[in-house]
Amino acid sequence: MKHADYILPAEWYPQSGIQLTWPHPDTDWREMLDEVEECFTDIAREISKREPLLIVAPDTDKVRRRIEGKTTAENIGYFSCPTNDTWARDHGGITLIDEVNGRAHILDFAFNGWGLKFAANLDNLITSNLHRNGRLAGEYVNRMNFVLEGGSIESDGKGTLLTTSECLLSPNRNGEWNREQIEAYLKENFSVRQVLWLDHGFLAGDDTDSHIDTLARLCPDDTIVYVRCNDTADLHYAALSAMEEQLRTFRTLDGKPFRLLPLPMAAPVVCDGERLPATYANFLILDKAVLYPTYAQPDNDAAAAQVLQLAFPDRDIVGIDCRALIKQHGSLHCVTMQYPQGVLKI
């Protein structure tokens, strides 16, 4: 199926709502379920006061009781189905939009637990179940022959895709496909004109093989916000410095350099002797706000908010404590998936 008349909208394209896939006792969250559900409730509260929210869970009645009185109930819908885990960014549908008539193609790629690290058989059925039951409006496009997570790509909605070679060239995702083959596939399926490959940058404790949404994000007005490490003693310093140098070489389709805004590197967060992947790049863009993760680091949290306000001067910048989420090696953007206007039905 060709998508020549469609675009992969930027995250700041007008939205119909957000999907959350809720944690439950059969997920890896079982030992800290109360703690992580408190974080999910905070996320649900901030989303539902602003726009529609669809919560996916095996037991939606239990979730409803958990968040009752803490969220904007009339803006929340529920969908019951089995799930492996909570990473909606990576098992959710990726939507293309025809801006002329508003039609949508909902591309459902395979999620294989970030290169066969975790089970994902149930999560791979969520998007098709949502579409079959009328919760996603548009044409469903099965792309289960290709492994791709939403957290691994960024679009500016104008023909540029940003990604990382570490993730997309992982042999446990699409076998022996090389960069040229994958780039051609991305251009054909997303109707983009250029793919910018970041070849540097990582976060200790990250399971995703350097998802782009942990490191650098496309923003309006040809802006990229990215994680900068200023501590020469930090194990990330060399890789993130090389990433910054490469970002300076990137150009828009008009041949202009991007406006680069550095986010602070979060101070190390350690649990059971393991450094966790705390990053301020893992923020969620809403129509009127940006929700960003905080880590109980007042100076860094505030500095990140200031940078995001520069990137999104027309939106409220709202922090949510995500220390619970990084204990399972993800953060705020990882557990959410936005859908363009006219697509999500709560």
- Tell the burial category of 69 from Cβ atoms under 10 Å away from its Cβ (0-12, 13-18, 19+): exposed
In the chain, the domains with their CATH numbers are: 15-340 (3.75.10.10)
Spell out the per-residue pLDDT of the chain, length 346, in tens: 555 689 999 999 999 999 999 999 999 999 999 999 999 999 999 999 999 999 999 999 999 999 999 999 999 999 999 999 999 999 999 999 998 888 999 999 999 987 788 889 999 999 999 999 999 999 999 999 999 999 999 999 999 999 999 999 999 999 889 999 999 999 999 999 999 999 999 999 998 999 999 999 999 999 999 999 999 999 999 999 999 999 999 999 999 999 999 999 999 999 999 999 999 999 999 999 999 999 999 999 999 999 999 999 999 999 999 999 999 999 999 999 999 999 999 9
Sheet strand arrangement including 139-147: 94-97, 104-110, 139-147
Instruction: State how far Cα 208 lies from the chain centre.
Output: 12
**pLDDT value of residue 230:** 96
pLDDT at 113: 85
Strands 53-57 and 76-80 come out as parallel
For residues 123 and 83, the answer to whether their CB atoms sit within 8 Å is: yes
CB 172 within 8 A of CB 205: no
Task: State the pTM of this model.
Answer: 0.96
Report yes or no: 240 and 264 within 8 Å, Cβ to Cβ. no
The pLDDT score that the predictor gives to residue 238 is: 98
Distance CA 203, CA 206 (A): 6
Q: Residue 243 and residue 61: Cα distance in Å, rounded?
A: 45
CA angle 312, 42, 28 (to 5 degrees): 110
Print burial letters for 255-283: b (CB count within 10 Å at least 16), e (below 16): eeebeebbbbbbeebeeeeebbbbbbbbb
Q: How much is the pLDDT for 237?
A: 98
Least Cα distance to 318 among 42, 118, 107 occurs for 42
Q: CA–CA separation, 88 vs 121, rounded Å?
A: 14
